[in-house]
A and B are shown apart, each in its own frame.
Chain A
Amino acid sequence: MPNAQQSYLNNLSSEFGRGWNRFWFTPAAAAPLGLIRLVFGLIALWWYLSYIPDLAFFFGPQGIINSPTVEQWRGPYPVFSIFDWPQTAASLWFTYWLGLVVLVLFAAGLFSRITSVAALLVVVSLIHRGPMLAQPMEDVLAMVMLYLCFGPSGAAFSLDRVWKRRTTSRLEDNIAAPPSIGANISLRLIQIHLALLHFGMAIGQLRDDSWWMGRAIWGFISKPESGYVDLTWLSDHLYLLNLWTHGIVVFEFAFALLIWNRLARPILMAAAVLVWGSIGLVSGMLAFTLVMLGATLAFMPAEWLARRRSHEAL
């Protein structure tokens, strides 16, 4: 029996090791990562630009969110924010425009290895300058921006790629960015984090009666001035309200657990468009919808992009 136990433990550890290595260290195509960089670069730019009308109002020398308040809000944890330095309106705007240049370069995919880290710094700095303004959208944005630093996010859909294609004579470099372990690690981290987020949302929702009763979605509909569409007519169709509410919870659980299955993936990605799109329309949280759908691209099979790009190359 001890031999059998030892053999089982040996098998367990070697199988786990092989599985771990296969999961994390198999080279993956960089195209999906490049696409996510492009999408999140544009979202980050939009989010950053939306601060222009209120930047001085919030964070200026006489802003309504002053530094002592923010320090108190942050608590004892060390936080680095480039927006903590400016003491004058001019220096605040200078820092802001500098950050904008970084985000433009990141979105365009120029010097991506450097600009991805710099863009993360800019985004997280602005979030930490006004943590009481941050919403779930910023949580997902910061998460994906972090993981984009770990892989070659500029290897596709980028000016870096255009530059490389012009300067290289190797045929294979002209067709597609080579697979890399860094791309796989980045994509895997986004995937795991996103699945965890879906699971957490479903659990969070099931903590309350309104989701069990199938009426929670009325919480959004009941504020028609906050959403893009007025669906108050659904009050006469309780079954539709129930279906929608339960559908969201079922989708979130299914996404967290079944997205790892290759056959279920296309269905769940299509469902994500439906669920997040509908929530964005009724709640007005368009930015949250976009970051959730953008992060879902991490599950996009690389073959989808490879097929399209090979057609383009022909």
Chain B
Amino acid sequence: MPPSTVPTSDDDPESRLSEGVRTFISLLLFVHLFALGLVFFSNFEGSDWDSELLRRMKIVVRPYLYPLWLDRPYHYHLTYAEPLDFDHYIEVALTPKGSSESTIIRLPEDDLGIGLRRQRYQRLAWHFARRTESQTPDDLLPLTIGAGLIKQHTAARAQVRCFRKRPLFLDEVRAGASTEPPDERLYAADVFFLPGNALPQLNKIGEARDVAPVKRPSDSGSQGPPNRESQKGSSSGAGDRAAPLRNPLFPNANSARPASAPPRSPPTEK
């Protein structure tokens, strides 16, 4: 008896539906499961596990899966404790017309409790950070957020910024030496409308970060290598491993990835 079923007097599955109906339903099920399998196996795009064939096949099933919100990466890693897994927030400084004093709007607000609303804003900020840090950065979110807030508050201009909050580092907490440095500013841009132009304009401010990229919060030397870069020279503790061998299938691949390196491309979703 299969799971979650109850016996019935006419338990023989073949007696309940005609063969034609069963065949038709089976075909639909097979197509659906095949499409799901493709999504599952092709969602490692950008990694060494990427397959050109799977990626191309996925293009065929995407128009079916995407409208149903099934074309999703089902490899939620929850956290890698990497910079992109830290909390992010967006700050918008709105300058009213005819004034030089600006009002600050923070998304999510500091006093917004834990819950769906806070996570929604954090997700927006996460996408903001992800897109601005990707190898092909774009200004889609800063533009739309800045323009929307200018309209809502009839402001003259908006400065849109994205910040990364520094988490607690394991080694520092263990040493009782946790400090609170300023949040890392990832992005800043002025958004404004030119007279007679309905499209918002954007001026990026400073390409360099305000604070140097931070390391991973779980890194410390007591149980293993602080990061993969230092692992190369490490020969003690649990991280006592041989230098990574090159994979003969990928002659140019090097598995060593410094902790401060930009996220995988495209960055994985949680």
Partner of A203, one of B4, B75, B238: B75
Q: Is the CB of A219 within 8 A of B124?
A: no
Q: How large is the interface on B (under 10, 10 to 19, 20 to 34, 35 or more residues)?
A: 35 or more
Q: CB-nearest residue of chain A relative to B85? A: A219
Q: How far is the CA of A133 from the CA of B269 in the complex (A)?
A: 12
Q: Is the CB of B87 within 8 A of A213?
A: no
Q: Is the CB of B62 within 8 A of A223?
A: no
Partner of B16, one of A27, A133, A210, A279: A27
Say whether B114 faces chain A, with CB atoms less than 8 Å apart.
Answer: yes
Partner of B148, one of A53, A65, A197, A216: A65
Least distance between B182 CB and chain A CB atoms (Å):
16
Q: How far is the CA of A4 from the CA of B167 in the complex (A)?
A: 65
Q: Is the CB of A236 within 8 A of B174?
A: yes
Q: Which residues of A contact B169 (CB under 8 A)?
A: 222
Say whether A128 faces chain B, with CB atoms less than 8 Å apart.
Answer: yes
Least distance between B125 CB and chain A CB atoms (Å):
10
Partner of B217, one of A46, A207, A222, A298: A222
* Cβ proximity bits B115-137 to A, threshold 8 Å, 1 near / 0 not: 11111100110010000000000
Q: Which residues of A contact B67 (CB under 8 A)?
A: 77-80, 124, 128
Q: Which residues of A contact B8 (CB under 8 A)?
A: 27, 179
* Cβ proximity bits B242-270 to A, threshold 8 Å, 1 near / 0 not: 00000000000000000000000000111
Q: Is the CB of A136 within 8 A of B69?
A: no
Q: Which residues of A contact B16 (CB under 8 A)?
A: 25, 27, 181
Say whether A287 faces chain B, with CB atoms less than 8 Å apart.
Answer: yes
Stretch at the interface among B93-101, B205-213, B221-229: B221-229
Say whether B31 faces chain A, with CB atoms less than 8 Å apart.
Answer: no
Q: Is the CB of A216 within 8 A of B5?
A: no
Q: Is the CB of B124 within 8 A of A286?
A: no
Q: Is the CB of A64 within 8 A of B149?
A: yes
Q: How far is the CA of A23 from the CA of B119 in the complex (A)?
A: 39
Q: Which residues of B contact A192 (CB under 8 A)?
A: 33, 36
Say whether B57 faces chain A, with CB atoms less than 8 Å apart.
Answer: no
Q: Is the CB of A47 within 8 A of B144?
A: no
Knowing A50-B115, A139-B72, A238-B222 touch, does A218 contact B81 (C-beta < 8 A)? yes
Q: Is the CB of B77 within 8 A of A201?
A: yes
Q: Is the CB of B218 within 8 A of A218?
A: yes
Q: Is the CB of A210 within 8 A of B80?
A: yes
Number of A interface residues in the complex (CB < 8 A): 103
Least distance between B262 CB and chain A CB atoms (Å):
15
Q: Is the CB of A66 within 8 A of B217?
A: no
Q: Is the CB of B170 within 8 A of A222?
A: yes
Q: How far is the CA of A27 from the CA of B141 in the complex (A)?
A: 49
Q: Which residues of A contact B235 (CB under 8 A)?
A: none
Knowing A235-B173, A299-B4 touch, does A181 contact B17 (C-beta < 8 A)? yes
Q: Is the CB of B117 within 8 A of A219?
A: no
Partner of B4, one of A211, A213, A302: A302
Say whether B70 faces chain A, with CB atoms less than 8 Å apart.
Answer: yes
In the A-B complex, the 5 residue pairs with the closest CB atoms: A204-B75, A219-B79, A219-B81, A64-B148, A222-B167
Q: A124-B69, A207-B47 are in contact. List 14 more A-B contacts (CB 8 A).
A: A22-B13, A24-B25, A28-B4, A69-B144, A72-B140, A136-B270, A191-B3, A191-B4, A196-B40, A215-B170, A220-B78, A235-B174, A302-B4, A302-B5
Give 7 pairs: A residue, B residue, CB < 8 Å, sorted on A.
A21-B22, A27-B13, A143-B69, A143-B70, A196-B74, A283-B78, A299-B4
Chain B residues near A (Cβ < 8 Å): 1-6, 8, 11, 13-14, 16-17, 22, 25-26, 29, 32-33, 36, 40, 43-44, 47, 62-63, 66-70, 72-82, 85-87, 114-120, 123-124, 127, 140-141, 143-145, 147-149, 151-152, 165, 167-170, 173-174, 216-218, 222-224, 228, 238, 268-270
